[in-house]
Amino acid sequence: MANAIIRAIFSAGIIPAGNIFVSDKDSQKLAEFAKTGVNTTSDNREIEKKSDIIILAVKPQIMDSVLAELAGKSDKIYISIAAGVTLKQLALGIGAGSAAKIVRAMPNTPISVGCGMTILCPNDNVSNSDFAALEPIFSCAGAVARLDEKHINAAMALSASSPAYFFMMLDAMAKIGENHGIPRDVALTLAANAMHGSARLTLESELPPETLRDNVCSPGGTTIEAVQVLERNGFATMLSDAIDACVNKAKKLENFE
């Protein structure tokens, strides 16, 4: 994810490479980052000292150890992309007390192609001017939505996790196309472009999805046959169960020790 964010920043030209610092314990990863022109180090304290905005692009399991290396400064903005680590937990770990400026960010993998969706949940110490300074880091790679932290688990299931659902659907559709004699690469192109176009139409038409669906379905036609099969087999219920499971797992992660 750190790679994707940096590539998006470079593509948009919003921050020069010389103003970006990357820290990692893996020297091979740092060598790859260094090729892009960014500054590299294995010392997280150096990152904190030299940066105004610190992105904590680490797994939840190692977040505590990373935070323990930071001094915690009230004039810095700390952004975490770790699932399940709450604003309260981050504040306690950073050590800047109640003055810490902290944001939970939940981007999805399509940010790597500039079509991402990122949820940003700032704490009360993040001012409007602070938010304006950090938002372009993510909006340069797609859309951004600002939400209260209480919504982040549901938002994660709908946004950060949902590309996996779409990839499953695309894979299944491509295989079904093969079964009907269409070459797999062509079948995947057909399905992926239909999904991409449908998403764009939803965002740009301002029509509700059910209206857009009905516009495709001619009475007695082929599409309505497929839609009725999906409805009979509990398509909406299956999605609801999957998203509920994702939300519940996220809630459990928030309570990990």
- 130-149: pLDDT as tens digits: 999 999 999 999 999 999 99
Residue 201 tokens read as 């139409």
Would you say the pTM of this structure is higher than 0.85?
yes
CA 184 to chain centre: 28
CA 234 to chain centre: 28
End-to-end C-alpha distance for the chain, whole angstroms: 24
Position 97 scores a pLDDT of 66
Q: What share of the chain is helix, strand, coil (3-state, %, to 5)?
A: 60, 10, 30
CA atoms within 13 A on the CB side of 132: 3
Q: How many angstroms separate the CA atoms of 113 and 107, rounded?
A: 12
Q: How many angstroms separate the CA atoms of 17 and 120, rounded?
A: 24
pLDDT in tens, 32-84: 999 999 999 999 999 999 999 999 999 988 999 999 999 889 999 999 999 88
CA distances from 208 to 192, 202, 226, 236 (A): 21, 7, 20, 16
Tell me: pLDDT of 98 over 90: no
Residue pair 1/112 in contact (Cβ under 8 Å)? The answer is no
Average pLDDT for the chain: 94
CA distances from 114 to 5, 9, 65 (A): 10, 10, 31
Q: How many angstroms separate the CA atoms of 103 and 50, rounded?
A: 19
Q: How many angstroms separate the CA atoms of 138 and 8, rounded?
A: 8
Residue whose entry in the numeric block shows the structure tokens 């981050």: 90
Give the pLDDT band of residue 257 (cuts 50, 70, 90).
very low
Domains, in order of start, for the chain: 2-152 (3.40.50.720), 162-253 (1.10.3730.10)
Position 253 scores a pLDDT of 85
Segment 18-34 shows an average pLDDT of: 93
Q: How many angstroms separate the CA atoms of 105 and 57, rounded?
A: 10
pLDDT in tens, 196-215: 999 999 999 989 999 999 99
Residue whose entry in the numeric block shows the structure tokens 């709450």: 86
